[in-house]
């Protein structure tokens, strides 16, 4: 496999203070992916478990690893499948959904197809708690219902959560603790034996969920108002027994979430195209949700390794604005 090393330019977008190792106010920084590699267009996934080893995948098959100003190209355009979503069990064990609705697996060196059995529909999200407990969910092609697949030690199999609307996101915290969210406020939980529908208190589409234990979770999404340019975004929280609304009628419609703790959760999304910039980053500090930053290209995924090492990735006509980093400084890359 050919591996290239590229230099990345960074520009502060959220704070005018110079970013140093000792800064007290972390901020969001635009990281340009304009390089000699063919990285352009849409960045669809990010995953990492330590600073300097963030994996990025693109819709044209690109795969990068790194952080800060140094990134290593593991695969370039056309050398891997067209990616749609990413999750990792370990540094050398990644799972991705492709545009062709297949599930591919990265072994630390190469991507290989692992599951191609989706007969009808579109896979939208993938998440797990280990390599032997991974879920992939989406929507059926001929109806409004969801489709779901689970991987255990024996391989992938179709499963049947409670019938309802399309599934848009899944979070598998353990074999006996799995959440599904989807269209029209669909929420369901799996306890290792049975699936149970929950009342989310909303009929708006839920695009993402982030879980932090059996008694704490967040879900977010929203709908575009027909015949208008208005968004009706929503953020929900779960307290161990019931869902409730944290924020409603935000102009931002949310697509992804990530958090490091109860007082540090991020949600990203976008607003109508007429608004410039149209990307939005919101943050929960343990007390309230607030809009934190505005960025040029709408992010569709977010992942971090800690409170001051978070990446938001997205898409747009200008590839220079598809990657954003939050922290006091860019982390050093370790590619050994």
Angle formed at CA 136 by CA 135 and CA 138, multiple of 5 degrees: 140
> If 0-12 CB within 10 Å is exposed, 13-18 middle and 19+ buried, where does residue 177 land?
middle
246 occurs within a structural domain: yes
- Would you give per-residue pLDDT tens digits along the chain (336 residues)? 433 333 333 343 333 333 344 567 889 988 876 554 555 557 899 999 999 999 999 888 989 999 877 888 898 877 789 999 999 999 999 999 999 999 999 999 999 999 998 988 999 999 999 999 999 999 998 888 999 999 999 999 999 999 889 999 999 999 999 999 999 999 999 999 999 999 999 999 999 999 999 899 999 999 987 656 667 899 999 999 999 999 998 889 999 999 999 999 999 999 876 666 688 999 999 999 999 998 888 888 999 999 999 999 987 655 566 889 999 754 444 444
Predicted local confidence at residue 332, as pLDDT: 44
Three-class SS state of 285: coil
165 occurs within a structural domain: yes
C-alpha closest to that of 97 among 168, 161, 154, 189: 168
In contact, 34 and 45? CB cutoff 8 Å: no
Sign of CA dihedral 238, 244, 250, 254: positive
Range of the domain at 135: 4-327
Cis upstream peptide for 277 (omega within 30°): yes
Show Cβ contacts of residue 164 under 8 Å, excluding neighbours closer than 6 positions: 145, 146, 182, 184, 186, 188, 197
Predicted local confidence at residue 141, as pLDDT: 87
Three-class SS state of 321: helix
Predicted local confidence at residue 317, as pLDDT: 56
86 occurs within a structural domain: yes
Predicted local confidence at residue 164, as pLDDT: 83
Predicted local confidence at residue 125, as pLDDT: 98
Predicted local confidence at residue 31, as pLDDT: 84
321 occurs within a structural domain: yes
SS3 string, 74-105, reads EECCCCCCCEEEEEEEECCEEEEEECCCCEEE
The number of folded domains in the chain is: 1
pTM: predicted TM-score of the whole model, two decimal places? 0.88
**Strand order across the 155-159 sheet:** 122-130, 133-139, 146-152, 155-159
308 occurs within a structural domain: yes
User: Domain with 305 in it: what CATH number?
Assistant: 2.130.10.10
C-alpha closest to that of 300 among 67, 65, 125: 125
Predicted local confidence at residue 38, as pLDDT: 55
Taking the CA atoms of residue 193, residue 196, residue 200 and residue 203 in that order, the dihedral angle to the nearest 10 degrees is 120
336 occurs within a structural domain: no
225 occurs within a structural domain: yes
Query: Cα(250)–Cα(231) distance, rounded to whole angstroms?
Result: 7
333 occurs within a structural domain: no
Show Cβ contacts of residue 287 under 8 Å, excluding neighbours closer than 6 positions: 263
């Amino acid at each position: 496999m050919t591996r290239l090393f590229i230099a990345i330019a960074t520009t502060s977008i959220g704070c005018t203070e110079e970013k140093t190792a000792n800064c007290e106010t972390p901020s969001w920084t635009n990281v340009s992916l304009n390089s000699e590699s063919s990285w352009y267009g849409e960045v669809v996934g990010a995953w990492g478990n330590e600073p300097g080893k963030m994996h990025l995948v693109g819709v044209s098959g690109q795969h990068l690893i790194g952080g800060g100003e140094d990134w290593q190209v593991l695969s370039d355009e056309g050398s891997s499948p067209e990616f749609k979503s990413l999750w990792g069990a370990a540094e050398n064990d990644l799972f991705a959904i492709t545009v062709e609705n297949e599930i591919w697996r990265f072994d630390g060196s190469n991507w290989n197809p692992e599951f191609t059995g989706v007969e009808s529909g579109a896979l939208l999200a993938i998440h797990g708690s280990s390599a032997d407990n991974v879920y992939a969910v989406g929507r059926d092609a001929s109806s409004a219902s969801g489709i779901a697949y689970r991987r255990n030690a024996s391989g992938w199999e179709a499963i049947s959560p409670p019938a309802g609307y399309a599934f848009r996101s899944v979070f598998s915290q353990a074999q006996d603790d799995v959440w599904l969210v989807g269209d029209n406020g669909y929420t369901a939980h799996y306890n290792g034996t049975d699936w149970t529908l929950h009342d989310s208190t909303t009929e708006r589409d839920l695009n993402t969920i982030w879980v932090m234990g059996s008694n704490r979770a967040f879900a977010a999404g929203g709908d575009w108002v027909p015949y208008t340019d208005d968004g009706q975004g929503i953020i929900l929280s779960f307290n161990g027994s019931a869902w409730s609304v944290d924020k409603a009628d935000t102009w931002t419609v949310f697509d992804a979430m990530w958090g490091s703790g109860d007082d540090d959760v991020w949600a990203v999304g976008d607003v109508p195209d007429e608004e410039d910039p149209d990307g939005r980053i919101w943050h929960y500090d343990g007390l309230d949700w607030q809009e934190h930053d505005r960025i040029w290209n709408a992010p569709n995924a977010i992942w971090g390794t800690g409170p001051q090492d978070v990446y938001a990735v997205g898409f747009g006509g200008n590839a220079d604005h598809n990657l954003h980093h939050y922290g006091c400084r860019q982390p050093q890359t370790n590619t050994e």
